[in-house]
Amino acid sequence: MKKRTLLFLLIVICVSSSSVLAGSFFKFEGSELENTKDIIYANPVTPHPSPEARALLNYLYSIYGQKMLAGQMESIWVDGPDYELNYIKEHTGKLPAIRGLDFINEEDNDNVVQRAIDWWRRGGIPTIMWHWGAPTIGEGYEASKGTIDIEAALTPGTAEYKAMMADLDRIADHLQKLKEANVPIIWRPLHEHNGGWFWWSKGGPEQFNRLWRFMFNYFVNERGLNNLIWVLGYTSEADPAWYPGEEYVDLAGADTYDGGAEPRVRMFNSVRKVVGLNEPVVYHECGVMPDPELSKEQGVHWSWFMTWHTTWLTDNNPIDHIKDVYNSKFVLTLDELPNVMDYAGTGESTIARVSTMVEGAGVITKDPVANIVKKGTAVTFTAVPKEGWEFVEWGGVSTSTANPIELEVNENVGLFAKFVPVSGTNLLENGDFSDGLNHWSNYNFTDQGASASIDVIDGKCVVSIKTAGKERYHVQLIRPDISLKKGKKYQLSFDAYAQNQRKAYVKIGQQGGDYLEYFGETFSLSTAPKTFTRTFAMTEKSDNNSRLEFNVGLEGSNVYIDNVSISIVE
C-alpha cells in the first residue's frame, strides 16, 4: 500500500466571478470547504519532474473522488485520427478531456507526437500507450502478442536485449520531443500486463516487474525523461503480485470490455487494495462508458475512463448514453478543463482526504460526510450491513470491532469495513434479473464461429444463439465478482429451460489465471422450466473474485435462465 506523503494546500479565492476563467475553479462535491480551490499535492515517482508533469499529477489528485475525466482512444485507419473525436462532437457538442494515442507503428509515431503536442496546447490531456511489438519479432498489434524469452531480453549482449534497447531508444526519442515541447504525458506502457496475451505478460509477475523497472530506470535515469506520469494498467482484477513497486508507479487502474455501463465496484476496489485508498484509480480502457450517476451512487470514483476506438465507441455506446455521460455534472470534458498549470508547485498540508471501502455487502456512513476535511476534524464512521449480512470488523487505520467509531483526522485516512453473509443469504445481487443485465455479461468465442446475445425478456435472461461454436464454453453467460471462502459449503440454485432439449455446462471458478474450477456439472435442459440445486464445498484457497458461467455453446437451442442464487449452507 502506498506510503507516499500527500501534501494539501487550501487556497481561498477572493476574486469576483467575472475574473475567474470558465472551468478554472469549482467547488468539489463531498468537501466541507466553501469558496475554495483545493490543490492536493502529489509526490511523483520521477525525481525532479517537469513543472507540467507535476501540475498534471496534482490536478488528477485534486479532482479524485469528485469528478471523472472523459477520455477517448483514437484510431487512424477509419477516417483519420479525429474520427472518434468527431463522432463524439457531432452527437454531444463536446470533446473528451483526455485523448488516447498509441506508439504502435513507427511510421506514424512522429504524427502521434504532434497530435499529443496539439492536444496539450488546446487545453487537453494526452495519454500515450505502446502496443510494443516483441523485440526480434517486429512491430504492430500481432507482434505485441508474440512470445520471446524475457529473461534473454533483460540480459545484456543477447539478440533480444539489443532489439529491446533499439526499441526503447526509438520510443525515448519520441518522448524526448514531447519533453522539449513542455508536454506532460500520461504514459501507459505494458498495459493489461496480468492478462497473458501480450509478450510482456507471458513470463509471470516477477519478469514483468523487472521489465517495468528496467524501462523506468532507462527512460527516467538514463534518458532524463521527466515529463511522464507512469500508469500501470491491469486487466480485470488487480493482482498485487504484478506490481513493480510504489517507487515506479504514479497511478494504477484496470480495464474490462465485458458487460455494460456499470461502474465495476469490485474491479475498482481491487486496484485500491494494491495502491491504497487515497491514490487516484483509472479505468484505463473500456468498451462501454461507465454510468457517472451510478458510479457516484456506488462510490466508484474513477479518475478517468477511456473508451476504446472505432466500433467499441460507435456500436457499444448508444448515442443517448454518450450524451448522458458527456453532459453529466460528474464528468469533465475538454471545455471544462482548467488551466492545468494552475495546479503546479508544492505546498504544506492543512487538509486531509477521508476514503473508505467495504468488503462484502454494506455501506459506511460518515459524519461529517465530506471526503476532504480540515486536519483535526473528528469523523464518526458507522458500518451499516445490507440485509442478510453482518458487520465483523474495521481494517486500515483502525482494526476495532466497535461500531460506530470516531477518529480524529490528522492525515489521510483509509478505512475498511468487513461484512460477512448470514447463512442462506444469496451472494448474487440481481440473480433474478429484476435489474436487467446488471452484473451479468456474455462472451462469445467469435474466432471459433460462436455468436450469441443476451437479453431480459419477461423477467428471464434469454441467451439467443445464432451460431453455437465448437465447444460448450464458446458461448458463455457470466456472473463475476463472487466471493467464496475456503472451508465453506455453498448451495447453487437456478431455474432453466431451453427452446429445444439440450445440455448446458455450469461452472464456478477463477475469473482469470488458470481458470481453476471449484464446481462444474453438465445439466440436461428440457423445454419445461426446472429448478436445479447443487451443493459444493470450497476446498481451494479463498477467492474474492470467482465467477459463475453458464456454458451453452455447441448446440443452437436458445436458453432461458432465472432465479440464480449462491448461498452459504454451513
User: Known catalytic residues?
Assistant: 192, 285
Q: Please state, in angstroms and rounded to a whole number, the distance separating the CA atoms of residues 50 and 472.
A: 54
Q: In what order do the strands lie in the sheet with 489-498?
A: 450-457, 460-468, 559-568, 489-498, 530-537
Name the residue type at position 130. Answer: W
Instruction: Please confirm whether the linkage preceding 280 is cis (ω < 30° from 0).
Output: no
Q: Please state, in angstroms and rounded to a whole number, the distance separating the CA atoms of residues 369 and 379.
A: 8
Nearest to 54 by CA among 199, 182, 142, 207: 182
Q: Please state, in angstroms and rounded to a whole number, the distance separating the CA atoms of residues 21 and 118.
A: 21
In our burial notation (b when 16+ CB lie closer than 10 A, e otherwise), range 53-86 reads bbbbbbbbbbbbbbbbbbbbbbbbeeeebebbbe
| Integer CA distances (angstroms), 344 to 42, 57, 62, 475, in order | 10, 9, 12, 51
Q: Please state, in angstroms and rounded to a whole number, the distance separating the CA atoms of residues 3 and 276.
A: 8
Half-sphere exposure of 439 (CA within 13 A, CB side): 19
Q: In the numeric block, which cell numbers belong to residue 384?
A: 451499516
Cross-strand partners of 120: none
Residue count of the chain: 570
H helices then E strands: how many in the chain? 11, 28
The 10 Å Cβ neighbour count of residue 496 is 23
Instruction: Say which residue the cell 486500515 belongs to.
Output: 396
75 close to 81: Cβ distance less than 8 angstroms: yes
* 3 state SS of 417: strand
Instruction: Show the 3-state SS of 292-315.
Output: HHHHHHHCCCEEEEEECCCHHHHC
Nearest to 450 by CA among 320, 342, 551: 551
Non-local CB neighbours of 252 within 8 Å, separated by 6+ positions? 231, 232, 233, 234, 238, 243, 271, 274, 275, 279, 281, 282
How big is the chain by its Cα radius of gyration, in Å?
24
